[in-house]
């Protein structure tokens, strides 16, 4: 009886540790999604896509799938050598396909994210063949992905040379303009449609996003278009000269 009691106590403690680990993993993952979203929308004003909404949707789908699987009492199949090898082949091929797709589509932030997240996932996939607790391994995988995704999202724009909204406002302020304020972003094709002076426009700007910054000098309101890649001012004019350019973006005081 004592042995049975000790075994039950040990099993209970292990389950509590698993539960705590999973709660910590889920909290870290949710925080990671929030930080990833804020980096894209606040630091870079929405000119880049960090994939936060896509990751959130995938997370909800996986959570529902796992809940249904275990709710129906289906236990995971034992990890045989053949199944482990097939999993490895699938992960590697799928990862290469995603990386190539992201690069060719110009999704450089996601390309950096995928590349760095693969490192802990491949390591944990290698560990999966060992006789270890698969439930705890899953929580460790989620924790690892949460930390690496946050780090990758933070450094990816710096790697590709993007300037932040704050830096774009500083660029305008350094040129002697007051009340520098980020208004929003514009696609190149929107700029071409709205601008009176189209001399600054080139064909390769069509699908790119640009910061629009408000500034005031000698009482006159100006609008600046700044390329996030390097922080170059590509065009500026008074609101009187370009009344339609980004007309839906207004300073807070207006």
pLDDT digits (tens, 9 = 90+) for 56-75: 888 888 777 767 766 555 55
Long-range contacts of 146-151 (CB under 8 A, 24+ apart): 146/25, 146/28, 146/29, 146/31, 146/32, 147/28, 147/32, 148/116, 148/117, 148/119, 148/120, 149/32, 149/36, 149/55, 149/113, 149/116, 149/117, 150/31, 150/32, 150/35, 150/36, 151/116
In this predicted structure, what is the pLDDT of residue 13? 60
**The pLDDT value given to residue 155:** 92
For residues 117 and 62, state if they share a domain: yes
Give the pLDDT confidence score for residue 8 in this predicted structure.
46
Average pLDDT, the chain: 79
For residues 4-11, give the mean pLDDT: 47
Answer yes or no: is 100 within a domain: yes
- The listed range with the strongest mean pLDDT (31-40, 203-212, 213-222) is 31-40
Asked if residue 200 and residue 102 are part of one domain, the reply reads no
Q: Model confidence over 118-150: pLDDT tens digits?
A: 887 777 766 665 655 666 677 788 888 899 999
pLDDT > 70 fraction of the chain, expressed in percent and rounded: 78
37 and 141 housed in the same domain: yes
Give yes or no: residues 151 and 171 share one domain. no
Give the number of domains in the chain: 2
Let me know whether 49 and 125 are in one domain.
Answer: yes
Tell me: do 234 and 108 sit in the same domain.
no
Average pLDDT over residues 22-51: 90
246 in any annotated domain? no
Confidence at residue 2, expressed as pLDDT on a 0 to 100 scale:
47
* Residue span of the structural domain in which 195 resides: 165-238
Both 26 and 120 in a single domain? yes
Q: Is residue 229 part of a domain?
A: yes
End position of a domain, from candidates 141, 159, 177: 159
Domain finish residue from 136, 159, 182: 159
Is the domain of 106 the same as that of 175? no
Q: Whole-structure pTM over 0.85, yes or no?
A: no
In a domain, 249, yes or no: no
Does some domain include residue 250? no
Q: Is residue 180 part of a domain?
A: yes
Q: What is the dihedral of CA 123, 126, 132, 136, to 10 degrees?
A: 40
> 243 in a domain, yes or no?
no
pLDDT for 254: 45
Q: Are residues 19 and 111 in the same domain?
A: yes
If you average pLDDT over each of 26-40, 118-132, 183-197, which comes out highest?
26-40
- Residues 170 and 141 reside in one and the same domain: no
126 and 189 in a single domain? The answer is: no
Least confident piece of the model among 134-138, 153-157, 236-240, 249-253: 249-253
CA 57 to chain centre: 13
| 37 lies in some domain | yes
What's the whole-number mean pLDDT along residues 181-189?
88
> In the listed set 104, 129, 159, which residue is the last one of a domain according to the structure?
159
Rg (CA), the chain: 25
Both 20 and 119 in one domain: the answer is yes
């Amino acid at each position: 009886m004592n042995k049975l009691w000790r075994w039950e106590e040990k099993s209970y403690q292990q389950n509590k540790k698993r539960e705590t680990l999973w709660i910590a993993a889920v909290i870290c993952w949710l925080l990671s999604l929030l930080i990833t979203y804020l980096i894209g929308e606040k630091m870079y004003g929405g000119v880049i896509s960090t994939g936060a909404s896509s990751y959130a949707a995938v997370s909800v789908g996986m959570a529902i799938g796992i809940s249904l699987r275990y709710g129906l009492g289906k236990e995971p199949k034992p990890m045989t050598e053949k199944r482990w090898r097939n999993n490895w082949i699938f992960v590697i091929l799928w990862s290469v396909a995603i990386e190539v797709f992201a690069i060719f589509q110009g999704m450089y932030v996601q390309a950096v994210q995928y590349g760095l997240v693969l490192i802990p996932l491949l390591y944990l996939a290698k560990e999966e063949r060992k006789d270890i607790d698969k439930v705890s391994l899953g929580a460790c995988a989620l924790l690892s992905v949460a930390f690496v995704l946050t780090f990758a999202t933070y450094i990816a724009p710096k790697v590709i040379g993007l300037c932040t909204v704050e830096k774009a406002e500083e660029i305008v302020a350094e040129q002697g303009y007051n009340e520098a304020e980020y208004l929003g972003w514009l696609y190149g094709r929107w700029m071409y449609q709205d601008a009176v002076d189209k001399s600054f426009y080139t064909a390769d700007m069509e699908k790119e996003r640009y910061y629009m910054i408000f500034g005031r000098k000698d009482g006159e309101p100006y609008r600046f278009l700044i390329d996030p890649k390097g922080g170059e001012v590509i065009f500026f004019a008074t609101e009187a000269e370009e009344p339609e350019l980004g007309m839906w973006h207004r300073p807070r005081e207006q």
